[in-house]
Amino acid sequence: MSDTADAPPRASLLNDPKARGLFYQGLLIAILVAVGYFIVTNTIANLERQNISSGWGFLENTAGFGIIQALVPYAETSSYGRAIYVGFLNTLLVAAIGIFIATILGFVMGIARLSNNWVINRIAYWYVEFIRNVPLLLQIFFWYFAVLRAVPDKRSKWSLFDTFHLNIAGLRGPAPIYEPGSEVIGWALVIGLIATFVIKRWAKIRQDATGQQFPMFWTGLGLIVGLPVLAFFVMGGPISLEYPVFNETGPMLRRGFELGTGFNLIPEFLALTLALSIYTAAFIAEIVRAGIQAVAHGQTEAANALGLRKGPTLRLVIIPQAMRVIIPPLTSQYLNLTKNSSLAVAIAFPDLVSVGGTVLNQTGQAVEIIAIWMMVYLSLSLLTSMFMNWYNQRMALVER
Amino acid sequence: MANVDIFQVRTHEAPLLPAPVSTTGAIGWMRQNLFSSVGNTLLTFFGMYLAYSIIMPFIQFAFIDAIWTGDNREACLATDPNTHAGACWAYVKAYLPQFIYGRYPEMERYRVDIVYAMFVLLLVPLLMPSAPQKTLNAILFLVVFPIVAYFLLTGLEIGDFVVFPIVETAQWGGLLVTLVIAVTGIVASLPLGIALALGRRSQMPIIKLVSIIFIEFWRGVPLITVLFMSSVMLPLFLPEGVTFDKLLRVLIGVTLFSSAYMAEVVRGGLQAIPKGQYEGAMALGLRFWPMMYLIILPQALKLVIPGIVNTFIGLFKDTTLVLIVGMFDLLGQIQSSFSDPNWSTPTQGHTGYLFAAIVFFVFCFGMSRYSIFMENKLHTGHKR
């Protein structure tokens, strides 16, 4: 294709790879511009015809609909923008709690999948296979319509340890009440974390220099847990628990839990979080299993030959190498969980998509709403992939 | 010579003793796998308890207490008002045609049956590595079958001559919609995905950039927003008067969405092909496209069959999302049947969801087994 330096170029422009490349790319740009023009003009014409204003002005208008769970103050008189913000926070909340539970459950199940114990192994296997092969939406429906609707009605309850109560209105438990002086406990926790970090660095430097080890685990535990507990007692217990009040007698309408006592998790939230974490945990379990199996057996043998015991072998040799394999797919599962939380719309939990859908129906401003959705999810996924690139660079095997 | 009777010299081999009872057979297996230590024994009992407390209520509900025959809700009510009846399979039996065909007219359901039969007859030999005539089979399945299925399902009327009466897609439902969306989505996204994967590996910067943006955009957003977009925004993009069928709009959204995932799968296969293959093809004087479809793609696509099957499983499960934009797939059809007062019982929901779970599990588990089978078959080197 290409010509040697001394021979004159004989190939026609038609066969010159450079010219062809330019031509095809120009063609692609032309097509994209044409399609874009087609779409934009049609959209503008259609919006004008349907009398839908465009632009972001609607975000200031009064929403006029209630939201059953809001992390920040919200009322029906708040603006559309506020409503979408509430939905966004709910999405983040579900994602954060879902990721937390899914990680723990996923690691337990992944390790159980490698167990020599046949019963445990089989349970983990069928858990993974069953959950992965049933659609998530079906699982959300199952938890919401089949499980959380089969619990007692508003005027009765199921209780666990007399502290957590479940009925059709959701899960109720004691809520913490912060009195003056409770902020000291928070500061104690921060100081404990910083001190642990500093001591850990010092201990590592000392061990590198002298070989002497330092009981880091107990020190850290003492600082991170002990210090706040100490502060709690020194300040005279400034945090108390407010238990939900349950009226068993009295007029029929007043029976059940009194409003505003204790904390309440609405059934939509429970069903969504449960289904998301159980579903994602099955995928995480497979990732963990594959990651641990990816560490060559020679590593365990070499660690044993060095005289390491089972615990340090796992902690110092196996897990650091397995994590290298586990973390990239793990982050993409976290992202999947976040994206899947949009299924909230099916059970009317007010997340970003659900609230956005309501706004869309009221204002008809489809372009703007869908743009908000896309922007939020795209930036989340962009952040995730940036983290993954950073992590991969940090963790890449340094080979000579 | 005097000590000769002290030594005993064996003239033949001693008989082999059987291994200790505790290390072989069922007992040995149990000692090794269930009770090797105190902790392990505790785990075993915990696991057995867990399994028992999940499986027993399930068997009780699905089989022992289940009601298999009946004409209406009366049959499925518990005789004792304080207890719950088991699964109401009579309701599933009564609704089965709806779950399979949706509201497809009863007279025309044979057309759907023909499509189902053609699908199975063409797909099974295609999936069997040893079956002959792969090329012919693939052409029949990927080109002829979609055209025939299209006319069979939607209808065919030439002028006044009615071959098959037209059936609106709004009347489709159940498994039919699930399969139509999943199969069309995967078949249509394959060529698009290949093009995008090639674009992403292209040397031309603009083509590469456009491919990357396209792929990352669709992979970054949830399918549900894509479905909203295709049902709300797509009509806005078209000139006045041009309207699309709802099913077609969903299909467009699903295809674009899954083509991005398909592109990443195909890219994995392309990256696994050694550079020597490209260089060999170029040395033979092949241009880009002949090189691709004669040398590179046959090898790359064969490598990614498991990945394609996995994408298909994901898409198959995700088709349930169309019920949110108001279409009736299998789950949507089951969900909508709950509003029928004729069959409304406390266990109706549980039965419906159990049925849906079984159907999806059978399909997806079967496909994942196939994907593992292909993986083992293709994975010829480095076996331990």
The tens digit of pLDDT for each residue in A214-229 reads 777 788 888 888 777 8
Q: Give the range among A154-158, A201-205, A348-352, B238-242 with minimum mean pLDDT.
A: A154-158
Tell me which chain A residue has its CA closest to the CA of residue B321. Answer: A137
Angle (CA) B221 B224 B225, round 5° = 55
Instruction: Give percent above pLDDT 70 in chain B.
Output: 96
Interface test with B, best of A105, A114, A137, A360 (most B CBs within 10 A): A137
Tell me which chain B residue has its CA closest to the CA of residue A373. Answer: B225
Tell if the CB–CB gap between A117 and B48 is shorter than 8 Å: no
Comparing B39 with B367, the larger pLDDT belongs to B367
For the segment A224-245, the average pLDDT, to the nearest whole number, is 76
CA Rg value for chain A: 29
Interface test with B, best of A38, A120, A280 (most B CBs within 10 A): A120
Question: Which DSSP helix (H) or strand (E) runs through A173?
Answer: strand A170-173
d(CA B186, CA A12): 41
Amino acid at A192: G
Over residues B142-184, the pLDDT tens digits come to 888 888 888 888 888 777 777 778 888 888 888 999 999 998 9
Over residues B265-308, the pLDDT tens digits come to 999 888 888 889 999 999 999 988 899 889 888 888 888 888 88
Question: What distance in Å separates residue A165's CA from the closest CA in chain B?
Answer: 22
Q: Which fold has domain B89-378?
A: MetI-like fold (1.10.3720)
- Band of residue A398 on the pLDDT scale cut at 50, 70, 90: low
pLDDT at B185 over 70: yes
pLDDT at A317 over 80: yes
pLDDT at A260 over 80: no
- Band of residue A400 on the pLDDT scale cut at 50, 70, 90: low
Tell me what pLDDT residue A81 has. Answer: 86
pLDDT at B36 over 90: no
Would you mind telling me the total number of residues written for chain B in this entry?
384
Using CA atoms, how far residue A187 sits from A183, A232, A237, A394, in Å, is 6, 11, 15, 32
Q: Give the range among A40-49, A94-103, A232-241, B147-156 with minimum mean pLDDT.
A: A232-241
pLDDT at B67 over 90: no
Question: What distance in Å separates residue B310's CA from the closest CA in chain A?
Answer: 11
Tell me what pLDDT residue A191 has. Answer: 86
Select the residue of B204, B318, B353 nearest A21 (Cβ to Cβ): B204
For the segment A286-297, the average pLDDT, to the nearest whole number, is 88
Report how many Cβ contacts below 8 Å link chain A to chain B: 149
d(CA A14, CA A7): 18
Pull the structure tokens for residue B210.
């456009």
For the segment B226-239, the average pLDDT, to the nearest whole number, is 85
Question: What distance in Å separates residue B227's CA from the closest CA in chain A?
Answer: 11
For the segment A338-367, the average pLDDT, to the nearest whole number, is 88
Tell me what pLDDT residue A3 has. Answer: 45
Tell me what pLDDT residue A253 has. Answer: 66
Select the residue of B43, B50, B323 nearest A117 (Cβ to Cβ): B43
pTM (whole model) above 0.90? no
Q: Average pLDDT, whole number, for chain A?
A: 83
Tell me which chain A residue has its CA closest to the CA of residue B29. Answer: A118
Over residues A118-128, the pLDDT tens digits come to 888 999 999 99
Q: Which pairs with CB-CB distance under 8 Å and at least 24 residues apart come from B373-379?
A: B374/B129, B374/B305, B374/B306, B374/B309, B375/B306, B377/B129, B378/B302, B378/B303, B378/B305, B378/B306
Tell me what pLDDT residue B384 has. Answer: 43
Select the residue of A32, A118, A339 nearest B222 (Cβ to Cβ): A339
A390 touches chain B (CB under 8 A): no
Q: Give the range among B21-25, B41-45, B247-251 with minimum mean pLDDT.
A: B21-25
pLDDT at A4 over 60: no
Q: Is-contact B143 B157, C-beta < 8 A?
A: no
Tell if the CB–CB gap between A138 and B353 is shorter than 8 Å: yes
Tell me what pLDDT residue B383 has. Answer: 46
Tell me what pLDDT residue A309 has. Answer: 86
Q: Which residues pair with B67 in a beta bridge?
A: B88
Tell if the CB–CB gap between B225 and A342 is shorter than 8 Å: yes
Tell me which chain A residue has its CA closest to the CA of residue B229. Answer: A370
Tell if the CB–CB gap between A123 and B33 is shorter than 8 Å: no
pLDDT at A189 over 90: no
Tell me which chain A residue has its CA closest to the CA of residue B364. Answer: A133
Over residues B104-139, the pLDDT tens digits come to 888 888 888 898 999 999 888 888 888 888 888 888
Tell if the CB–CB gap between A339 and B237 is shorter than 8 Å: no
- Name chain B contacts of A343, Cβ cutoff 8 Å: 224, 321, 324
Q: Average pLDDT, whole number, for chain B?
A: 85
d(CA B131, CA A207): 65
Question: What distance in Å separates residue A353's CA from the closest CA in chain B?
Answer: 7
- Name chain B contacts of A115, Cβ cutoff 8 Å: 43
d(CA B23, CA B79): 52
Tell me what pLDDT residue B379 has. Answer: 67
Q: Give the range among A37-46, B111-120, B131-140, B372-381 with minimum mean pLDDT.
A: B372-381
Instruction: Give percent above pLDDT 90 in chain A.
Output: 24
Tell me what pLDDT residue A201 has. Answer: 87
- Name chain A contacts of B346, Cβ cutoff 8 Å: 150
Select the residue of B36, B47, B237 nearest A39 (Cβ to Cβ): B237
Tell me what pLDDT residue B142 has. Answer: 84
- Band of residue A318 on the pLDDT scale cut at 50, 70, 90: confident
For the segment A136-147, the average pLDDT, to the nearest whole number, is 89
Tell if the CB–CB gap between B210 and A32 is shorter than 8 Å: yes
Tell if the CB–CB gap between A381 and B238 is shorter than 8 Å: no
Comparing B81 with A216, the larger pLDDT belongs to A216
| Residues within 8 A of B (CB atoms), A 350-389 only | 353, 357, 360, 366-367, 370, 373-374, 377-378, 380-382
Q: Give the range among B37-51, B81-95, B204-218, B337-351 with minimum mean pLDDT.
A: B81-95
Comparing A211 with A326, the larger pLDDT belongs to A326
Tell if the CB–CB gap between A346 and B33 is shorter than 8 Å: no
| Residues within 8 A of B (CB atoms), A 107-146 only | 115-120, 122-123, 129-130, 132-138, 141-142, 145-146
pLDDT at A2 over 50: no
Residue with tokens 């995008």: B196
Pull the structure tokens for residue B182.
């999943």
Sorted by sequence, the CB contacts under 8 Å of residue A244 that are 6+ apart come out as A165, A172, A173, A174, A257, A258, A261, A262, A264
A44 touches chain B (CB under 8 A): no
Tell me which chain B residue has its CA closest to the CA of residue A44. Answer: B236
| Residues within 8 A of B (CB atoms), A 194-223 only | none
Sign of CA dihedral A249, A254, A260, A266: positive
pLDDT at B191 over 70: yes
- Give the N- to C-terminal CA distance of chain B in Å, as an integer: 57
d(CA B124, CA A74): 56
Question: What distance in Å separates residue B367's CA from the closest CA in chain A?
Answer: 10
Question: What distance in Å separates residue B197's CA from the closest CA in chain A?
Answer: 16
